[in-house]
Amino acid sequence: MKKTLIIAICAIVALATGNVQAQRDGEVSARSVADRSFEIAKNLEIFSAVYKNLNLNYVDEVDPGKTIKVAIDAMLASLDPYTNYFAESQMEDVKLQLLGQYGGVGALIMQRGDSIFVSEPYKGLPADEAGLKAGDRIVSVNGESTHGKTTSDVSSAMRGQAGTEVTLRLERAGKEFERTLTRREIKLPNVPYYGYVGKDSDYGYIKLDEFTTDAAKHVREAFVELKKGKPGMKGIVLDLRGNGGGLMNEAVDIVNIWVPKGTLVVETKGKVASKNTKSYTRMAPEDTEIPVAVLIDNGSASASEIVSGSLQDLDRAVIVGQRSYGKGLVQNILPMAYNSQMKVTVSKYYIPSGRCIQAIDYSHRDENGKAVKVPDSLKTAFKTKSGRTVYDGFGIEPDVEVEPEYMSNLGIALAQKLLVFDYATNYYRSHKELASPATFEVDDALYADFCRYLKEKKLTYSTVTEKMIEQLRDVAKEEKYDTAIAEQLKAMETALEKEKEGDLQKHRTEVCEMLKSELLVRYYYDQGRIEGALRGDKVLARAIEELRK
């Protein structure tokens, strides 16, 4: 245990002393350095003493690895959400974040009560090849029951070295069966779909999910293939909605597809001036003339903002959708002892206009310890290449904003109770075929059948209005008005309940999209779901309008 403590402290010392560096002007006095070194040594000695006393005196046995990990995580949490420590056991998660790959069977899983279910097998990977289907309950992994386990627990058990085997016991429609799968190096596609969109299919569309290794290569290949398949293609749409980012070099190379070689895309600036960088496009572009639109939303972050922001600053693309997340921080992966790693925020990035889009200032916190957003008073105006005004400090603001569509109370209830998921599971088991993603729509007969299904399940849900009526009843009771307004409250509830009976027709379009999505993924995997959703995509439709101008 003492050896573990020494190793942990040495690791912390190495990290802390590595931060004792000269200020940018290079004129830090020897006394300042000495004072800082003393503070580091003093606090590490205190930390060591605290752990020693816990180890010797705490009533229960203290797990050294777990305790030190909690201490490290708490320390890093005081900085920003992106500076993290990864133990050796978490290396598969690191590979998934950075490379989009891991050793496993290729299936999404979900928790439902005390049970774990397959929610989606990936096409052509071990789980799919072994016949696993959405809705299968995972009873055990290598003989160990999954009852009461979390998705994280079961996911960790299913992952492992490529080439090794894992045995799953599953239950489908009341019958249990067993499958032994050989784990593979699972590489998630960063471009899950590309094709033609628009009334005459004369615009290209590329969906990019992640900025993992070779993302730029795959986007470029998709663009080249789309142009080759339709030489008269009038424009291209790059969809970065929900894309949380990834590798910065991949973002630079994606911008390079549509801007000339030698163009500045992003600059990083941090505490260590010698590590500041400027990233320029380094290859010949594929097309510097074709109109480009980029779709973003508040889930678009980091590398997604480098691509959309730099193309906006260079006046090379029209940005459509909602304001992006606002992550202008750059992380480096630092190897550590015993196969552990750290992901550390080392700098901020600045796009061609000179602006940084970081929206949250983690160096300043409110009285509750919560990091604050950059105030409007500190936001600065910058100019794009053609002189348009853009601002820093709050993500990428789209050139054309499209109001987001929010899910209704009915839709939320259907999703939370997994009623659309269950209906799709039953439908798939009794129907061998479904129309193609390009043509499939939920017709009257299918929707009527779903409504009957919900009636059998006795769907109940609360609206905001119902909750407010209940709050009003509580307040009235406190103020002794409850008897006087009891009839009015009851009448309101009756009227609301009657109104709710029509929700399935009022929100039919929304519910049909939910059904279509869940059914298409059963028959045509993620690619089919994406393709099917494009026909009713209002943000995409608006982007095509802009490209036509």
Integer Cα distance of 347 and 277 in angstroms: 10
Under 8 Å between Cβ of 223 and 280: no
8 A C-beta contact, residue 140 and residue 170:
no
Specify the DSSP element, H or E, that contains 536: none
Q: In the structure encoding, which two tokens stand for residue 92, read together? A: 């598969």
Cα–Cα distances (Å) from 157 to 16, 140, 176, 264, 373, in that order, read: 35, 10, 20, 45, 39
**Three-state SS for 481?**
coil
Task: Give me the phi and psi of 144, to 5 degrees please.
Answer: -95, 125
Number of H helices, E strands in the chain: 17, 23
Buried/exposed code over 141-171 (b: 16+ C-beta within 10 A; e: otherwise): beeeebeebebeebbbbbbbeeeeebebbbe
Catalytic residue positions?
A: 302, 313, 327
* 101-104 and 184-187 strand pairing: antiparallel
Strands 165-172 and 175-182, bridge-based pairing = antiparallel
Q: Are 179 and 208 in contact (CB under 8 A)?
A: no
Q: Are 76 and 362 in contact, with CB atoms under 8 Å apart?
A: no
Look up residue 488 and give its amino acid: Q
Helix orientation angle between 248-255 and 215-229, rounded to the nearest 10 degrees: 20
